[in-house]
Every structure is written in C-alpha cells, then in structure tokens.
C-alpha cells in the first residue's frame, strides 16, 4: 500500500515537472543565475535543484537553485 502511494506521488511529481508552471519557475531560476551553476560557479547551469520540498508545487524562488549536472549529482550523493 505504501509503495503504491509513493508510486502515485512520483508520477504526480514527474507530471508537474513537465507542466507549464514548473517550466516558468525553472526559466526564472535560470535567468536569475545567469545560467551559471550556483555551486561551482564555473559550469553552465542545466538543472534546477530543490533546496527544500516543504513547498513542493508552490515553491518560492529561494527554494530553487540553478546547478550543473555534476554539482547536482554531488548534492544528491551526500
């Protein structure tokens, strides 16, 4: 039962990331960062990282950070 709920939540989140609302937020974060990774400040930012999931689906600008793929992997491997 719990696994089914997690699966549904994951599907909902994946759909959210494909939607217009997320795309607008992502574009804004990329623009604010100048498309430069906020972690290493060297590479081009290609992804947006959630600093918190507390306000998932209604994120504030401060909840999101533009990052490169390398830094994003490092963040999630901690």
Please give the average pLDDT of every successive group of 10 residues along the chain, which has 78 residues.
84 95 98 98 98 95 98 94
Domains in the chain, number: 1
Q: What is the pLDDT of residue 2?
A: 78
Q: Would you say 47 and 69 are in contact if contact means Cβ atoms under 8 Å apart?
A: yes
How far apart are alpha carbons 37 and 12 in whole angstroms? 27
Whole-prediction pTM: 0.88
Q: What is the pLDDT of residue 1?
A: 65
Q: What is the pLDDT of residue 13?
A: 92
Domain of 67, in residue numbers: 2-76
What φ, ψ does residue 47 adopt, rounded to 5°? -140, 160
Among candidate residues 45, 50, 42, the one with its CA nearest the CA of residue 66 = 45
């Amino acid at each position: 039962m719990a696994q089914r709920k997690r699966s549904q939540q994951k599907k909902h989140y994946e759909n959210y990331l494909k939607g217009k609302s997320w795309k607008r937020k992502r574009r804004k974060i990329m623009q604010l960062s100048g498309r430069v990774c906020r972690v290493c400040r060297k590479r081009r930012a290609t992804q947006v990282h959630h600093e918190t999931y507390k306000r998932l689906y209604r994120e504030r600008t401060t909840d999101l950070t533009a990052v490169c793929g390398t830094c994003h992997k490092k963040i999630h491997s901690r």
